[in-house]
Amino acid sequence: MRSGIVFGNIISDGNLVLAPMDGISDQPFRWVCRKLGASITYSEFINASDVPRKLNYITKRACFSNFERPFGFQLYGNDPDEILLAAQLLSEEKPDFFDINFGCSANRVAGRGAGAGLLKEPDLIRKIISKLVSSINFPITAKIRLGWNQENLNYKEIVRIIEDSGAAMIAVHARSKDQNWKDQPNWKAIGEIKNIVKIPVIGNGDVKSQQDIQSLLNETGCDGVMIGRSAIGNPWIFSNEKKASLSKQQIITTIKDHWFQMLAFYGPTRAAIIFKKHLKCYLSCDQFSEIDLRKLISMSNPMKSKLFYE
């Protein structure tokens, strides 16, 4: 039994967290991961300036089911008023918390001073969090990287500011912006952050197995572990099951669960297109042959294959 995380008025039922992932952690995938044991879920990131414009993609990203709770909307931007307005509008959907992205390294985000770009602007981070905490009746959390680059690892200053401004929890992707996804993540920094702040700290970066989960918890004392890429095609990382030890039928059952969530959420045409990337990862294992994989991926709707309905 894993202990829960207490943040704001929320008590999670465990300490494994599904990472927000643009293009991946949509409502169907969150549902699957929550079912298998993820205890906190986030939306894919949402550009704060798009919320008042009611763009179509926002309508989809703003959808979640009660089953995914505790669930938070993740916002990015660099204008405190714009982020506040977005949070106020999205409050109507009654999420459990709002998370602010201070970690995205993509140039289209960080390059315009949002996401990890804000790590260079500690005062703006303070303004954003303080404004939200004083105006919004939901816990506010933050997701950060360790700094803009290896020469400016200012995470100790940043986490103090985030906590002092009233945030309820911090998730730490233990790399700097300039590292993107390369190099080993610096888990030691997560332990240092845990020693600085009193609010819960979620560790993140290259957690690929049950053993990694345990090592990250033990080595850093962090309150929870966030998993991103390793959950794609392997949501069993949340249920303490090794994918290699599952039967073909067990894998197919989860694939079908995921597919039916996709179908209901996107409709058949979009679901078939979007599901392919998940299916490829589900089937990349010894239980399925290379031929199964190639045959399915070349079909316009792989879920019509006999493989799933025999």
Ligand X SMILES: Cc1cc2nc3c(=O)[nH]c(=O)nc-3n(C[C@H](O)[C@H](O)[C@H](O)COP(=O)(O)O)c2cc1C
With contacts defined by CB under 6 A, name the span among 153-161, 204-212, 247-255, 294-302 that binds ligand X.
204-212
Write down the least CB distance from residue 126 to ligand X, Å. 19
Angstrom distance (rounded) from CA 113 to CA 125: 11
With contacts defined by CB under 6 A, name the span among 98-106, 148-156, 195-203, 297-305 that binds ligand X.
98-106
Under rule CB under 6 A, how many of the chain's residues touch ligand X?
22
For tokens 């989809």, name the residue: 60
Could you say which of 230, 287, 301, 305 contacts ligand X (CB under 6 A)? Answer: 230
With contacts defined by CB under 6 A, name the span among 191-199, 221-229, 253-261, 299-307 that binds ligand X.
221-229
Q: Tell me: cis bond preceding 52? Omega within 30 of 0 counts.
A: no
Angstrom distance (rounded) from CA 142 to CA 160: 12
With contacts defined by CB under 6 A, name the span among 188-196, 222-230, 240-248, 260-268 that binds ligand X.
222-230
3-state secondary structure 217-258: HHHHCCCEEEECHHHCCCHHHHCCCCHHHCCHHHHHHHHHHH
Contact flag: residue 211 with ligand X (CB under 6 A): no
Beta bridge mates, 89: none
Residue 193 token pair: 């952050």
- Spell out, one character per residue from 58 to 97, where the chain touches ligand X: x when CB under 6 A holds, - when not: ----------------x-----------------------
Contact indicator for 45, 74 with CB cutoff of 8 Å: yes
Nearer to ligand X, 252 or 262 (CB): 262
Q: Which residue is nearest to ligand X (CB)?
A: 228
Catalytic annotation, pick one of 104, 222, 281, 285: 104
For tokens 């309508």, name the residue: 59
Nearer to ligand X, 142 or 252 (CB): 142
Write down the least CB distance from residue 14 to ligand X, Å. 17
- Spell out, one character per residue from 5 to 34, where the chain touches ligand X: x when CB under 6 A holds, - when not: --------------xxxxxx----------
10-11 and 6-7 beta bridge pairing: antiparallel
Nearer to ligand X, 12 or 101 (CB): 101
Contact flag: residue 234 with ligand X (CB under 6 A): no
Residue 178 CB coordination number (10 Å): 17
Angstrom distance (rounded) from CA 128 to CA 133: 9
Contact flag: residue 193 with ligand X (CB under 6 A): no
- Spell out, one character per residue from 142 to 171, where the chain touches ligand X: x when CB under 6 A holds, - when not: -x----------------------------
For tokens 């465990």, name the residue: 14
Radius of gyration of the chain (CA): 19
Nearer to ligand X, 77 or 252 (CB): 77
Type of residue at 60: K
Handedness of CA 126, 160, 227, 27 (dihedral sign): negative
Assess whether 104 carries a catalytic annotation.
Answer: yes
Write down the least CB distance from residue 259 to ligand X, Å. 20
Contact flag: residue 182 with ligand X (CB under 6 A): no
Measure the CA dihedral 27/95/118/176, to 10°: -50
Angstrom distance (rounded) from CA 52 to CA 220: 40
Angstrom distance (rounded) from CA 42 to CA 40: 7
Binding site for ligand X (CB under 6 A): 19-24, 44-45, 74, 101, 103-104, 143, 173, 204-207, 227-230
Task: List active site positions.
Answer: 104
